[in-house]
Each structure stands twice: as C-alpha cells, then as structure tokens.
Structure 1
Amino acid sequence: MAIDSITKFGSASRWGPLWGARPEDWALSEDQQLPTYEAALERVGLDRGQRVLDIGCGVGSFLRLVSKRGADPVGLDASEELVALARRRLPEADIRLGEMERLPFGDDEFDLVTGFNAFFFATDIVAALREAGRVARPGAPVVIQVWGSHERCSLEAVKVIARPYFPPRPADAPPDPDLSQPGALESLATEAGLRPVEAFTSSWAFSFPDSDALGRAMLAPAGLALAVGPEREEAVKAAIVDGLASYRLDDGSYRLENEYRYLIARS
C-alpha cells in the first residue's frame, strides 16, 4: 500500500485526541485486562530478552507484564496523554506516539507484535495488520484481539449508547467489518500477508465497586466524555449506568463479563 493511501486512511488523528481525554479513568479498565494478555502469552510464549511491540498500548498495562517477564517492552499509541502516562508508569520502556497504519519502526524488528482491542480502531485494518507483519521478524507471532460474540459481551449496551457520538468513518474508507464473526480475522490477516495459525476465545469480567466508578470508567474509552461534551455527560453517564443495571450485584458493585476473540498469525 502506498504511503499516501496509509496517510489518507490513518486513524491517529481521528482517535488520538479522544483517547487522551481521561487517561487515569481509562486505566481503571485497562489494568483489569491482565487475563486477556496472559491468555495470549500462554499460546505464543515469551522469553527473556525478546523485543515486544504492543500497538495501541494505552497506559502500558500489557507492557508492564512484558517487562516483569524480562522481555523488552516497546509500545505505540495515538494519544499523547496515554503515551505520557505509560512512560511515567514504565520509564524503562520505549513508548512512542504514532500511527498504526504507518509504524515508526524498521522491518523485522520484533519477536512478538500484539494489538489488544486496538486494530479495529484503524480506518484501514488491513493496512494496520500489514504494518504489524512488516515490523515482526520472519515467522514471529502477531496477536490480534477483538470483541467476541455480541450476545456474550456485557458492554454491548455501552457500545450502542456511545456509537452515535464517535467520529464517522471517512466516506471513502474500506467498510467496517464485524470482527466477531467466525473467519473475519483470518480473512483480514491473510489479505494483509499474515499466516493465520490459531484462533480462540476467552472470557473474563470487569469489576467496579459502585455506579460512580462504573460511570467514570465507561466514559473514558475512546474519549466518550469528550465526544458527548460537558452539557450531555451526566445524561449519558446515567444512561450507561441504567443500561448496565442488570449487572449490579447485591453489594452495589458491577461485574461485566465479556468474550474476546483472538487470532495468532505469523509474519
């Protein structure tokens, strides 16, 4: 794909400013995702000294796991604020601001490339996956994680409320695929020049102690609070809490079970 095409469809300018709106609140959710990272590492392995790139690294929760296991963590995100927070949390890591459709790395640099709930923010997901394969060493795994079946995701109600507030896809961008469908990831990975190896699903739950923590956490992803604006924030927050009322436990906390779909491909 030509560079001008990648620039045209690049996702960083579309999503970066939104994701940086409330980085500390986003960390309330990202830090709970450890089980999803471990599910991937159980299958691909991780050796000391290996160089790992996490695309859409957020506040660096996965990179902390990489560092603890003795590997070399490298991250990329579109949000200046998320990158700044990740750097404070992991001063030893190489964390860069950049565009997933045009990665600022050379060919064949990484022993493992991951994208946890990240690649679907690309305006052209095939371009983003092609870039992931380009920077991976020959035969290295590329881990792609997305939402699972709609009916198995408690957060589906939040997506319905949030979707109208987010920036629309460019009119001439590729269609937005339903990545929860069997075979969807395999098709995109193959088109991007990757070799699908293993697909699997896993489930785990977000937990929040009360409705206030739930509301703050749900307004943070993709900068929803910024997208709705201060005049509508409380109304949207109330709608989200109401929409998730069935997941409220007797002690007032919330448990939100979600399914995730993974594809391990190789460059």
Structure 2
Amino acid sequence: MPTPASTPASASVLAPAAEPVTLGVSLKMYFGHHETLNWARRIAALADRHPAVTGGTVRLFVLPAFPAIVPVTGVLAGSGVAVGSQDIATEDAGPYTGEVSGASLKEIGCAYAEVGHAERRRLYGEGDTVVAAKTAAALRNGLTPVLCVGELDRAPSDEAARRTVAEAERLLHGLTGPVVLAYEPQWAIGAPEPASADHITTVCAALTDWLAAHPAHRGSTVIYGGSAGPGLLTRLGPAVGGLFLGRFAHDTAAVERILDEAVALTGAVA
C-alpha cells in the first residue's frame, strides 16, 4: 500500500510540486455496502487508466465504512489506490465493545486512519485527549493518520493559521511519524463553497512551515478539505499538498477532473 514517502520534511512539505499530490476520499455513511463496492470498482477502473495515478503524480486513498474495508481493498488491489478507515480505537485490544483497533485495521490492509474529524468531535464528544490518543494508536500500528484540524468559526486567515498550528502542536505533541494534516475549517464542511483560496493557502502554509520545523514528522503533507471539489486544486496551485474530498467525489467523473487538474498542475511547475 502506498504511504507517504520518507523524505526530508523540507522536501515533502515545502516542495509539493516535486512530491505526489495527495487526494483522499471519505465516503462517510452516504453509501450502502453494494453501492460502495460499485463506486470502488469505478475508481479502480479510473485509476488503472489515468496517468495521474499510473504515473505517480497523485497518491490516492479512500476511506469506506468499516464493513466495506476488506472487500474494497480487494477491489482496489493493484490499482495504486490505498485504503483506510474513517476512525480508529484508542486501544489496540481489550474489552472495548464496538471499537476497531489499529492492529486489526493494519491486518486487513489499511494504510490510513482518519482522526479528529469535526463530526466525531461534535456528535460524539471527542476532544483533544481522545484525538491525540487515536493519532498515537494509528502511528504505533504503522498507519498514517489523516489528522483533521481547523477552526470552528470563521476567523481572519492569520488568526485561523495561529489557531490551527496550535491545535496540530497539541495533538502531535510527543508523537513521531508521518501524518497527513487535513486542514478542514469546520465552518466550511458541508457548505456550498470551500474557504477562499487565500485563506486556505495562508493556513496550509503555516501548517507546512510547522511540519518542516519538526523532523519527527518527516514525510508528512498538508491537504485541504471542507467542500473541496473540481476546480479548487487549480486555484490553490502548488501551495497545498492536495485535497480531502467528501460528497463531490461521489461522482467519479468529478474525481477524474481533479486528477486531470493534478496532472496539469504538476506539469506546469515541473
């Protein structure tokens, strides 16, 4: 399974044009089981023929619901698309009814685990202590955390950057290993439009600089989520390492347009 490359932090986060663009897709709980598998088959066919994936321009991963992880991993085998989970337990084993451990996720073929999404925080009361513990669980089990950070309410770009960097610093304190930092301003999730390009690039640049100053997280990258869809990658340019997609990725034609953007973007700056 492809995972973030072990390259110097300055190379991986300060020169995203030289690194693959990272595109992640979380399916949340929108699809039923068979619908998920059919979607995965379409993604596999797209990945098999698209130069962004076959040529290594894009690092693509998908996060289906727990019951679909094993069959989706089979569908995507050999396509260059990695699979991950939308959540992870804080513990690796024990009497934790309904939880799924990082050890089990790794065993069934996951490469990524999403942690700290705003919906988990809002609906299930997951605070920083739980999010940090889940991030640690992912790392110790060889999974790349897709760690969601971002301000709750609208704020000026500089203030949002300060808050988000402070959040990342709290959650990653004492931890070692590559992460995908998904900047998702909570006010933009599910909104008609994403945050402005200037706002996104300001915050992502601050996160990038913070990662570059912390070699413990060598190989990390910063991506943007929050109503991300076709056209946004072009507007952001090489200042952001990629996108974290939600409902706009339900249509595989939209995913293809974003892959086309990645090819054009990396070709323009190569």
Please indicate, yes or no, whether the TM-score normalized by the shorter chain is above 0.5: no
Instruction: Give the TM interval when normalised to the shorter protein.
Output: 0.3 to 0.5
Which protein has the larger Cα radius of gyration, Structure 1 or Structure 2?
1
More helix, by proportion: 2
